[in-house]
Amino acid sequence: MLRKILIANRGEIAVRIIRACAEMGIRSVAIYSDADRFALHVKKADESYCIGSEPLAGYLNVYALVDLAAATGCDAIHPGYGFLSENAQFARICKERGIVFIGPDADVIHRMGDKTEARKAMIAAGIPVTPGSDGNLDNVEQALVVAESIGYPVMLKATSGGGGRGIRRCDNAEELQRNYQRVISEATKAFGSADVFLEKCVINPKHVEVQVLADHHGNTIHLYERDCSIQRRNQKLIEIAPSPQLDEAQRQYIGGLAVLAAKAVGYTNAGTVEFLLDDKDRFYFMEMNTRVQVEHTITETVTGVDIVEEQIRVAAGLTLRFKQHEIVRRGYAIQFRINAEDPQNGFLPSFGRISRYYAPGGPGVRTDTAIYTGYEIPPYYDSMLAKVIVSAMTWEDAIKRGERALKDMGLFGIKTTIPYYLEILRHPEFRAATSNTGFVDKYPELVNYSNKPRPEVLASVIAAVMAAHTGL
């Protein structure tokens, strides 16, 4: 078993990995920039080391991180998500230095990170993909020819893209010509690659993804699916497990496709195979994320499997602790990404000091976060502050629990997406579990919620002021 792990990340995912290490008796090593010197993951790890004054450079310095892991006696690195988590060079250098990379092999990361290579692999495995270009596009003229053959609208995508970046919908030839250089520029800046390809746009599909686990002994299983259809500009906001929109036959079918996809590329560790489901109930492979997902929490909730712990065990060479027939779903879980954004002001970031914070609690509520009262949110990183996860035996009860938990949560000093999520939970289409990826654009009026303080939050503020005044 591994003895000491360097966590090449920050924020709530770093805290999540630190907790898994603590339960497994593994020492954890945190890293931080000057902007993160007061971050919670720094306080919770067994050891913490500054990686420089620049907010981002240290988190992205492959060689410096591997050197630090070696110097501190770590036998493994966990990349979390974002940053270097899907960087094949990082995984390759770890292997060269004799340090375990907690994730798939570098060649697999490279292959699945290249969207055109991933499409080819899935086609060879017999997995349905959306019609599109055979490979990377050479120029805009070629893009126009392909688009004409498959029909508009089309999606112009960066080959190395992810996280909603490097992607544009084009409804006609003029938009494709206008967006071509934009996507190339964005892809080059964000991913260091100018390669782009084209896919047929599936209009307002359901976004369904499957969590897979695979070890080095030939065992591959799925942990069922998640519905990630509630998203804005290709960024997920609310995730659900399992999807309340699938029947059992669809669930088994898509789970089988995900396992087949993982086996086809020799995948190991935790990964997610993402699909689009159109209005004719046809599934199409979209991409494979070769890392732990932000929304892994809801899969853990409904299956009872600790995905991060399984990641560490697999990296250590151990077999999966579960067979497919042993994975049993229980109820529904919903995750809300609590972002420091102002929905009523175009979702602009709302960074600053958290003057007071109260986490929601009670039955069926989990909060993954790295914030605390007095924490100053740095403006250099992702706007996600916390993940609130609720679970219940029925879909209706999960919605009710979500409302209660979001109302329980007190987060002051900044704007957040909490009131917007409450409006979504109250919407008939969401409650009927018929939403697709067009939901947010279809109902822009949901951001017009009242700014009047919620009664339960107002009461907590009054209580806090009284306590401070009386010295209690």
CA-to-CA separations, 185 to 171, 180, 188, 193, in angstroms, rounded: 20, 9, 5, 9
Please give the Cα distance from 258 to 260 (Å, whole number): 5
Residue the block writes with tokens 């490279």: 110
pLDDT digits (tens, 9 = 90+) for 45-77: 999 999 999 999 999 999 999 999 999 999 999
Tens digit of each residue's pLDDT (9 = 90 or more) over 195-230: 999 999 999 999 999 999 999 999 999 999 999 999
DSSP track, 87-142: -HHHHHHHHHTT-EESSS-HHHHHHHHSHHHHHHHHHHTT--B-SB-SS--SSHHH
Last residue of a domain, one of 200, 232, 255: 200
Indicate whether 109 belongs to any domain: no
Whether 211 and 357 map to the same domain: the answer is yes
pLDDT at 252: 97
Q: Are residues 52 and 177 in the same domain?
A: no
User: Who's near 467: CB < 8 A, 6+ residues apart?
Assistant: none
CA distance 249 to 391: 23
Whether 268 is in a domain gets the answer yes
Range of the domain at 179: 131-200
CATH code of the domain in which 344 resides: 3.30.470.20
Q: What is the CA radius of gyration of the chain?
A: 22
Alpha helices in 161-211 (DSSP H): 173-191
Residue 157 sits in a domain whose CATH number is 3.30.1490.20
Same structural domain, 296 and 354: yes
Task: Count the domains in the chain.
Answer: 3
Whether residue 139 is found in the same domain as residue 182: yes
Round to whole Å and give the CA distance between 165 and 215.
31
d(C-alpha 350, C-alpha 281), whole Å: 39
Shared-domain flag, residues 169 and 39: no
Flag whether pLDDT at 453 surpasses 90: no
166 confidence band (pLDDT: 50, 70, 90): confident
Say what the pTM is. Answer: 0.92
Strands across the sheet with 235-241, in order?
283-289, 269-277, 206-214, 220-232, 235-241, 332-339, 384-392, 365-369
If asked whether residues 212 and 193 sit together in one domain, one would say no
Measured over the CA atoms of residue 116, residue 117, residue 122 and residue 125, the dihedral's sign is positive
Cα 386 from Cα 408, distance rounded (Å): 14
Question: How far is C-alpha 31 from the chain's CA centre?
Answer: 21
Percent of the chain with pLDDT over 90: 90
- Residues annotated as catalytic (active site), given as ranges: 291
Please report, for residues 6, 76, 321, 444, the alpha-carbon distance to residue 3 in angstroms, rounded to integers and kept in the order given: 10, 8, 20, 50
- The answer to whether 368 and 389 have CB atoms below 8 angstroms apart is yes
| Residue 468 tokens, joined | 């401070």
d(CA 364, CA 236): 22
- Residue 118 belongs to a domain: no
Residue 61 backbone dihedrals phi, psi, to 5 degrees: -90, 95
In the predicted structure, residue 187 carries a pLDDT above the cut 90: no
417 and 436 both lie in a single domain: yes
Query: Are 172 and 245 within one domain?
Result: no
In terms of Cα–Cα distance, which of 32, 105, 93 is closest to 67? 93
Is residue 398 a part of any domain in this protein?
A: yes
Residue range 413-451, pLDDT digits in tens: 999 999 999 999 999 999 999 999 999 999 999 999 975
Residues 414 and 443 in one domain: yes
> Which residues share a beta bridge with 221?
213
Residue 191 lies in a domain: yes
Pick from 200, 234, 252: which residue ends a domain? 200
Q: What one-character DSSP code corresponds to residue 30?
A: E
Residue 466 lies in a domain: no
The tokens describing 296, both together, are 């892994």
What's the pLDDT band for 458 if we cut at 50, 70, 90? low
Distances, alpha carbon 251 to alpha carbons 165, 275, 329, 379, 450, in Å? 29, 12, 12, 40, 39
pLDDT tens-digit profile of 124-142?
A: 999 999 999 988 999 999 9
In a domain, 285, yes or no: yes
- Which residues on adjacent β-strands are paired with residue 209? 226, 274
33 and 83 Cβ atoms separated by less than 8 Å: no
Identify which of 26, 19, 22, 34 has the alpha carbon closest to the alpha carbon of residue 4: 26
**212 plus 237 within the same structural domain:** yes
Does 213 lie in the same domain as 152? no
* CATH number of the domain enclosing 98: 3.40.50.20
Once rounded to an integer, what is the mean pLDDT over residues 138-152? 96
- Rounded CA-CA distance 14/8 in Å is 8
Residues sharing a CB contact under 8 Å with residue 458, sequence separation 6 or more, in sequence order: none
Q: Which of 428, 364, 362, 414 is nearest to 386 (CA)?
A: 414
Rounded to the nearest 10 degrees, the angle between the axes of helix 418-426 and helix 395-408 is: 150
Amino acid identity, position 346: G
Say yes or no: 276 and 399 in one domain: yes
Beta bridge partners of 388: 336, 367
Could you tell me if residue 309 is inside a domain?
yes
Mean per-residue pLDDT, 16-45: 98
Tokens read off for 322: 């579960």
Rounded CA separation 129/286 (Å): 7
SS3 1: coil
Out of 65, 83, 102, a domain closes at 102
Query: 274 vs 86, 204, 257, CA distance in Å?
Result: 16, 15, 10
pLDDT in tens, 63-118: 999 999 999 999 999 999 999 999 999 999 999 999 999 999 999 999 999 988 99
